[in-house]
Amino acid sequence: MPTVEIVTGSSLRADSDETVDAEVWPEGSLEVLSQVEAEQLRNQGEGGLHSLLRRCVLAVLNSGANTDDTRAVLEKFSDFEVGIIQQDRGLRVSLKNAPTTAFVDGKMIRGIRELLFAVLRDVVYINYEIIESGRFDLGTSENITNAVFHILRNARLLQSAARPDLVVCWGGHAIRTEEYDYTKRVGYELGLRALNVCTGCGPGAMKGPMKGATIGHAKQRIGTGRYIGITEPGIIAAESPNPIVNSLVIMPDMEKRLEAFVRTAHGIVVFPGGVGTVEEILYLLGILLHPGNRDLPLPLIMTGPTASASYFEKIDQFIGETLGADAQSRYEIVIGDPEKVGRMMLEGLDDVRKFREHHGDAYYFNWRLTIDHSFQLPFQATHASMRSLDISEGLPAHVLAANLRRVFSGIVSGNVREDTMAAIEAGGPFEIRGSEKYMRLLDRLLGEFVEDGRMKLASDAYAPCYRVTA
């Protein structure tokens, strides 16, 4: 079939029912590259950026796929290729064997095209301005936070808002239909109150609040609603950006992604999920338990439909028996009442506004929040690193939270990252060690997640990637 030129800036050739070839012009993010940057993006060898670019671009093009199996996605589109074409008129991206779902009537969907070039923008900026420039010593806490700020600013995510209005929503990508519908209802209540939504950008509890907020914004005739997605390369293939995202940011790793969430959030809503959701909860509670953050307001609401009440009872019990009553005091649990969630969040954001006005703090980035260095250091899940985590009694609550967060981070990695899954297949499940009390609590919670089907979307019979031992 001959190539057909498309007036929107894409040229398209269909090779099969599932893949096409195309050439795409920029849409809103990055229009020119230096010769060095272009060569680095083409470089498939050690130190090159091609593999990273290919992985992230494929995830964007595969938006809407109903799978969380990274290896399945990469294998299905093993012939997919992305290339960089430079011309006097500027930049083009060539795609070979790309998913047809990214196109309609021979044209790339505009939102997907915007996200594609957001990927290119972040990959180039992080490599050259953050990693290679020498401006940021990523071994220090201050410089890590500074790097997070610069990445978000470069993505034009930081806006000098007239009021705090950004609600971060966390929750699972593999949730039940009733839970998904509930996330939409909460998002609707947030949208009616002119609040914007930020999530991990994937499906499930990351898509639902955005979908609901679009209706709330439409009813209030708000045409500038923000639906922000923050992700990182390790999970993007398993959690492809949902089509509602209109601002996508790819952070270098999970820890900087989590810091980006809490630095930009004015309030946080947590929906039902699995181990990834618990990782996020522990990260936030560990930060809020730091003595430097004791008086800092950040409304945190855990919520779900009536049928999910037991899920939050288990989470609350686990937090109480590990981190204590002080941690439990930092959040509210609301069951089956989306309107109440909307009202409570609006009231909480008013407290945030007053606090930041009193202290002269910015609305767009929470510089005052103290994040301990242990929460910022990238954690790579290996058999050795998982086995060496200190999960013992007597640790300060925020230190225990940091280590427990790494436990759940390692399990997430073992569930969705292809390199970690391969390591587990070769060396067996991760071994998690700690005090008898904490291991009993951990084993109970993880076992309940397995029984409830909250570990994986793609597999009916989940084979645990971990083994808990006292």
Q: For residue 12, is pLDDT > 60?
A: no
pLDDT in tens, 283-294: 999 999 998 998
DSSP element (H, E) containing 386: helix 383-387
Residue with tokens 């839970």: 179
Structure tokens at 187: 């998002």
Q: For residue 69, is pLDDT > 70?
A: no
Structure tokens at 211: 């979908």
Alpha helices in 45-109 (DSSP H): 50-61, 70-76
CA dihedral 130, 239, 461, 406 (to 10 degrees): 30
Kindly state the average pLDDT of the residues 405-414.
93
Q: For residue 150, is pLDDT > 90?
A: yes
For residue 441, give Cα distances in angstroms to 164, 172, 210, 389, 424.
37, 21, 34, 16, 23
60 close to 116: Cβ distance less than 8 angstroms: yes
365 close to 152: Cβ distance less than 8 angstroms: yes
CATH class, range 163-470? alpha beta
Q: For residue 68, is pLDDT > 80?
A: no
CB within 8 Å of 44: residues ≥ 6 apart: 50, 51
pLDDT attached to residue 33: 76
Amino acid at 384: A
Q: For residue 458, is pLDDT > 90?
A: no
Task: Say which DSSP state 249 is in.
Answer: E
The domain made up of 4-128 is a member of CATH 3.60.21.10: no
pLDDT attached to residue 106: 84
205: nearest Cα among 457, 381, 19, 17: 457
Q: For residue 8, is pLDDT > 50?
A: no
Alpha helices in 81-176 (DSSP H): 110-125, 141-154
The rounded percent of the chain whose pLDDT value lies above 70 is 91
pLDDT attached to residue 369: 96
Given its phi and psi angles, is residue 9 left (phi above 0), alpha (psi -120 to 50 degrees) or beta?
A: left
Q: For residue 1, is pLDDT > 60?
A: no
Q: For residue 65, is pLDDT > 80?
A: no
Amino acid at 258: L
Cα Rg of the chain, angstroms: 22
Q: What is the largest CA-CA distance in the chain?
A: 69
pTM for the full predicted model: 0.90
- Tell me the domain boundaries of the chain: 4-128, 163-470
The rounded percent of the chain whose pLDDT value lies above 90 is 63
Residue 445: alpha-carbon gap to chain centroid? 23
pLDDT attached to residue 31: 61
β-partners of residue 431 are 467
Residue with tokens 């293939």: 237
Dihedral of CA 388/392/395/397: which sign?
Answer: positive
What is the DSSP code string of 386-440? HHT----TTS-HHHHHHHHHHHHHHHHHHHH-HHHHHHHHHH-SEEEE--HHHHH
201 close to 242: Cβ distance less than 8 angstroms: yes
pLDDT attached to residue 32: 67
What average pLDDT does the structure give for the chain?
Answer: 89
Given its phi and psi angles, is residue 324 left (phi above 0), alpha (psi -120 to 50 degrees) or beta?
A: left
